[in-house]
Amino acid sequence: MATDQKNNHSKTPFFDPMLPRSFRIVRFQQETAETFSIELKPVSGQKEFFFEPGQFNMLYVFGTGEIPISVSGDPTKPEVLIHTIRAAGNVTRSMNNLKVGDSIGVRGPFGASWPIKAAEGNDVIIVTGGIGLAPLRPVIYHMLAHREKFGKIVLLCGTRTPKDIIFHKELEKWYAGAELEVHITVDTALPSWRGNVGVVTTLIGKAHFDHSRCTAMVCGPEIMMHFTVQELQKRGVDNKNIHVSMERNMQCGIGLCGHCQIGPRIVCKDGPVFCYEEIKGVFTKREF
Amino acid sequence: MKLESLAKILKEHPFLEGLEQHHLDFITGCASNVVFKKNEFLFRAGDPGNLFYFIREGQVVVEIYIPGKGPTEIQSRGKGDVTGWAWLIPPYRSTFDVRAAELTRAIVLDGTCLREKMETEHDLGFILMKRFAALIAERLEATRIQLLDIYGDRSKK
């Protein structure tokens, strides 16, 4: 039921969690008009950056500000740290203007991870909305690297339009391969689009997985997660097997400042990945 | 296609699951097999709404033509889905275009025939109305989520 890990830095040497380390951008990839990925390497010190899928870092654009961003790279390749970001606010827009060779501050990794250990032996259904695919990409990398440990793996992705699909090439590769069942849908499209049209929740009925023995991982806008959870529940998926990633105003990253409190939970420390059973009382409640 | 195989296909369709045999027999009598080539229209906005499709294979898209923008896809329907309920609600006119996005096989029902039967045989009418109500509620919910534009940039609003 619980997520696999809470602030486990076992593989990472001790760093002051409040002190950003300097990293350099070694690759910049524009994913869509609004979304980009940056690959980072540390300027000095330990060359590898270990994290668990679902964990996030506080990324600091010097002189502008700091924001929490989930790691979107491959946990089996700790030599490069990848984040995928949507340019939506002051800090992320500044980040979008950075170039290869520029420096950025990194604190982390923080937070709880997706329950990949607990999911072993089960079918896995991953439902993403928009940039919600980014925090779940490390899970897919992990599961593909340990394919024999999991049952069916289903990936359902929803975005606004075909132009907003991130990780195009990988999705095409996964779609063509036999290791994942992939369904993609967009909210609206022109006739040149050959895929599904409609909201991501409509894909759940088309997916092939064992509803009674599955682990569901859901990431996207909270309202999308709300309807996705309802759709999973309708099909008999237990709340204890549904996991969601929450987004709140995370600032310190270590549960001290309280800015990201949601009911009795602190998102940066207890989350951002939560078992739905643990947070159903506060999920999408307007008071929180 | 023989009536026997039509009956088998309809019996196995999720929308008709659990229907009594005599109801299925009647529905089979209103049904025929159809194939649409890619880009062929099942029906268009404004057409008399008297057809109801069970998609067997392929994919269809619900489209609307937006002047200045062209046709825009709103929803897609695939294997196991149904499309077309304008025959159920006055004035029995289709409100959207539905086009085959690829080679599509379907079973088409004469909606007028079915509606008249539902009027006289209330057991069947009630069962089908409950199923259509659930379907319409599901599509309404999906449309509401689409209207929320949940992936849009909230900071711009």
User: Do A63 and A105 fall within a single domain?
Assistant: yes
Count of domains for chain B: 1
Instruction: Give me the interface pTM, i.e. the ipTM.
Output: 0.78
Contacts of A133 in chain B (CB under 8 A): none
pLDDT tens digit string along B107-149? 999 999 999 999 999 999 999 999 999 999 989 988 888 888 8
Mutate to test the interface with A, among B145, B148, B157 (most CBs of A within 10 A): B145
Return mean pLDDT, chain A.
Answer: 90
Decide if A128 is inside a domain: yes
- Interchain proximity B141–A227, CB inside 8 Å: yes
Write the Ramachandran bin of B58: left for phi over 0, alpha for psi from -120 to 50, otherwise beta: left
**Are β-strands B60-66 and B70-77 bridged in parallel, bridged antiparallel, or unpaired?**
antiparallel
Q: Which residues of B touch A86 (CB under 8 A)?
A: 153
Contact A188 B141 (CB under 8 A): no
For the cut 90, the answer to whether the pLDDT of residue A247 exceeds it is no
Cis peptide before A272 (omega within 30 of 0): yes
On whether both A89 and A178 belong to a single domain, the answer is no
- CATH number of the domain bearing residue A78: 2.40.30.10
Judge whether A9 lies within some domain.
Answer: no
Please check whether residue B109 touches A, CB under 8 A.
no
Q: CATH number of the domain at A259, please.
A: 3.40.50.80
| Domain containing residue B98 | 3-156
Supply the range of the domain harboring residue A51: 21-110
Q: For residue A175, what pLDDT is reported?
A: 93
Out of A88, A223, A224, the one facing B155 most closely (by C-beta) is A88
Percent of chain A with pLDDT strictly greater than 70: 94
CB contact under 8 A, A189 and B145: no
Contact A58, A71 (CB under 8 A): no
CB atoms within 10 A of CB A9: 17
- Which of A89, A130, A194 is nearest residue B151 as measured by Cβ atoms? A130
> SS3 of B57, please?
strand
pLDDT band of B153, cuts 50, 70, 90? low
Q: Do B74 and A197 touch (CB under 8 A)?
A: yes
Question: Does B146 touch chain A if contact means CB atoms closer than 8 Å?
Answer: yes
Cα(A199)–Cα(A187) distance, integer angstroms: 6
pTM strictly above 0.90: no
Check residue A65 and give left, alpha or beta (phi > 0: left; psi -120 to 50: alpha). left
Nearest CB neighbour to B142, from listed A86, A199, A220: A199
Contacts (Cβ under 8 Å, ≥6 apart) of A142: A53, A75, A76, A116
Distances, alpha carbon B99 to alpha carbons A67, A230, B40, B57, in Å: 45, 30, 6, 14
A216 to A19, A126, A232, A244: CA distances (angstroms): 35, 6, 8, 8
How many contiguous H segments (helices) and E segments (strands) does chain B have?
Answer: 4, 8
Higher pLDDT: A271 or B1? It is A271
| Cβ atoms of B82 and B14 closer than 8 Å | no
Output the six-digit token pair for A105. Answer: 């501050």
Integer Cα distance of B150 and A224 in angstroms: 7
Query: How confident is residue B5, by pLDDT bands cut at 50, 70 and 90?
Result: confident
Dump pLDDT digits (tens) for B30-51. 899 999 999 999 999 999 999 9
Q: What is the pLDDT of residue B131?
A: 94
Cβ-based contacts of A220 with chain B (< 8 Å):
150-151
Question: Do residues A33 and A106 share a domain?
Answer: yes
Check whether residue A31 and residue A162 sit in a common domain.
no
Chain A: residues touching B (Cβ < 8 Å): 34, 86, 88-89, 129-130, 158-160, 164, 185, 187-191, 193-199, 201-202, 206, 220-221, 223-224, 227
Residue A10 pLDDT: 47
Residue A104 and residue A40 share a domain: yes
Query: Is B153 touching A (CB cutoff 8 A)?
Result: yes
**B151 interfaces chain A, CB cutoff of 8 Å:** yes
User: Tens digit of pLDDT for each residue in A27-49?
Assistant: 999 999 999 999 999 998 888 99
- The first and second tokens of residue A48, run together, are 């590898």
Which chain A residues are Cβ-neighbours of B75 within 8 angstroms?
197-198, 202
